Amino acid sequence: MKNGKLLSGDEAIALAAWDAGVALGAGYPGTPSTEILESFSELGGHAQWSPNEKVALEVTIGAAFAGARALATMKHVGLNVASDPLFTSAYTGVDAALVVVSADDPGMASSQNEQDNRRYAVAAGVPMLEPSDSQEAYDFTLAAIEISERWKIPVLLRVTTRVCHSYTVVHPGGSKGAPKAASFARDIKGRVMIPAYARLAHRKLRQKLAEMQEWNESCQLNRVVPGSEKLGIITSGISFMHVREAVPEASVLKLGFTHPLPMKQIIQFAKSVKRCLVIEEGDPYLVEAIRAQGVWVEGKPDMYRFGELDVPRVRRILDNDVSPEPTKPAGKPPQLCDACQYRIVFESLRKRDCIVAGDIGCYTLGVLQPFEAIDSCVCMGASIGVGLGMRHVLPSDQARRVVSVIGDSTFVHSGISGLVEMVYNPPPNGHVLIILDNATTAMTGHQEHPGTGRSLNHEPTNKLVLEDLVRAVGVKRVHVVEPRMGSEEFDRVLTECLNSDELAVIIARRPCILIVKQLKQYEQRGQNCECDPKGANVEQGN
């Protein structure tokens, strides 16, 4: 353990970014990625939460265009939001390193789906690295910086929950050269993606990928663990750890640089063993790519596509065991805190038998007993569009019961354009939107967002005042209400809005009970703390 540090994968990525002189880290919170930027900030790095992942990636693309090393972090579904700039930044390339961390959540410990973002590397045409533990999270972040600067291209660092949150020893060191000073160099054809320039850029991208593939054939990011000639396993990421424990005698080709794949090395390995199996979590990404080369390798039965792998599951795959798996004991279901103000909102919605288009955050727990007061939840921001769609087509007696419910961080993330839609295409009976403003991003561990008026490290910054924004968009009926036990006010306002046939926004404002103490500390530190639930002390952003 000499000189070693016990770090989570997220902390190791942050440390590598710090050691490599990354000038800017931007992201949007999301399990299991959140701690990367928080750790980077604690180390002294310039880290900031953006309103959403698309903006975070764009900000880091700008930094990398300007010659500074940059890091964008997000959970897997965040990359859906950021995919538009991702695809075209593969064409534009970058001047200094840009590392894009996609933290995937196989098994959905805390997500709405278990998409496998290795597919994004192929679709966007960006190189991808997949670490298996914290040491590799550190080393591969440095390698991603090196690759990014060598080929002038954003690199996807794809991690999963177990890598992000497990603690293993890291020996830091080996930084890939000092960063150069940021400086703008004009490159109009390379950066301005009008079709004439983009056509050239696409060809250049394919050329870079071909070169990287060749380099990958002999690079140190992939390695063979010698073993039995009877059984060979091709694997990557956390699955490598499970494989080593489940079958220590097998030969293993451990892939670290997983797009573009080192196909010659893979084929050579597959041919060197009697039985060759691919063990991978999630989609059959590796197995399909290898079989497309005309090489037969065994994959896993489809039942193991769902959820995380572990050592017993790897053993079952090896035995081709498709019998039902033992069921895990059910955990205690989550619930809203006893004193959570959302309880008042959901009781009121339930009482009125509202049809609730919901969203993602702590408040999604309103779907469970005793409320069962959420009727849909698709992705961040969808509550508004989905609610409007229902209002447009339902008969008016039902349409009038439709309410959209969204949290404050989620509203800023992707609800604002839904609000514009609400004003631009109002349904015949209007619509009611409730913004649950608890002054934080509670779900992911109480991160700041533009509506709190505090930056990532809780320092005061300009504040987005939600009611001003809603009015500016054109909503006339705007209520700011403090939901409190024993008070009828929220209930009364909701009834009024539902009966009005107008477009209405109710901002239910009361700080999350779990951060009341911190908010007081920020206030005492003379920071811009907006705790007044009625909005009486609302400070205009400047």
Ligand X SMILES: Cc1ncc(C[n+]2csc(CCOP(=O)(O)OP(=O)(O)O)c2C)c(N)n1
Residues found near ligand X in the complex (CB under 6 A): 28-30, 75, 77-78, 81, 112, 360-363, 380, 407-410, 436, 438, 440-444
C-alpha span between 379 and 399 (Å, rounded): 22
Residue 33 CB, shortest distance to ligand X, in Å, is 9
Residue 439 CB, shortest distance to ligand X, in Å, is 8
Nearer Cβ to ligand X (39/409): 409
Neighbour-count burial for 83-117, b at 16+ CB within 10 Å, e otherwise = bebbeebbbbbbbbbbbbbbbbbbbeeebeebbbb
Retrieve residue 257's tokens. Answer: 């640089």
Residue 208 CB, shortest distance to ligand X, in Å, is 28
Cis peptide before 370 (omega within 30 of 0): yes
Residue 112 CB, shortest distance to ligand X, in Å, is 6
Residue 340 CB, shortest distance to ligand X, in Å, is 9
Residue 153 CB, shortest distance to ligand X, in Å, is 24
- Nearest-CA neighbor of 73 among 40, 95, 106, 43? 40
C-alpha span between 128 and 103 (Å, rounded): 13
Residue 418 CB, shortest distance to ligand X, in Å, is 13
Nearer Cβ to ligand X (10/280): 10
Nearer Cβ to ligand X (29/450): 29
Residue 436 CB, shortest distance to ligand X, in Å, is 6
Nearer Cβ to ligand X (213/518): 518
DSSP state of 85: H
Nearer Cβ to ligand X (116/139): 116
C-alpha span between 532 and 482 (Å, rounded): 9
Torsion angles phi and psi, residue 528, rounded to 5: -75, 90
Distant-in-sequence, close-in-space partners of 115: CB < 8 Å, separation ≥ 6: 76, 77, 80, 104
Nearer Cβ to ligand X (83/228): 83
- Cβ-in-10-Å burial (0-12, 13-18, 19+) of 284 comes to middle
C-alpha span between 160 and 123 (Å, rounded): 19
C-alpha span between 147 and 152 (Å, rounded): 8
Retrieve residue 252's tokens. Answer: 């293993």
Nearer Cβ to ligand X (407/533): 407
Nearer Cβ to ligand X (102/438): 438
Nearer Cβ to ligand X (250/360): 360
Residue 278 CB, shortest distance to ligand X, in Å, is 29
C-alpha span between 162 and 140 (Å, rounded): 16
Nearer Cβ to ligand X (29/262): 29
Residues written for the chain:
542
Rg (CA), the chain: 25
Nearer Cβ to ligand X (145/442): 442
Residue 146 CB, shortest distance to ligand X, in Å, is 29
Distant-in-sequence, close-in-space partners of 111: CB < 8 Å, separation ≥ 6: 31, 75, 76, 77, 105
Nearer Cβ to ligand X (80/92): 80
Retrieve residue 398's tokens. Answer: 């039902």
Beta bridge partners of 70: 24, 98
Cα–Cα distances in angstroms (integers) from residue 149 to residues 70, 283, 484, in the given order: 11, 30, 54
Which residue's Cβ has the minimum distance to ligand X? 407
Residue 299 CB, shortest distance to ligand X, in Å, is 29
Q: CA dihedral in degrees (309, 315, 316, 319; nearest 10)?
A: 140
Nearer Cβ to ligand X (65/363): 363
The single residue listed with the structure tokens 């909102």 is 345
Residue 364 CB, shortest distance to ligand X, in Å, is 8
Tell me how many degrees the CA angle 77-78-81 measures, rounded to the nearest 5.
105
C-alpha span between 33 and 103 (Å, rounded): 5
Q: Strand, coil or helix: what is 369?
A: coil
Residue 103 CB, shortest distance to ligand X, in Å, is 10
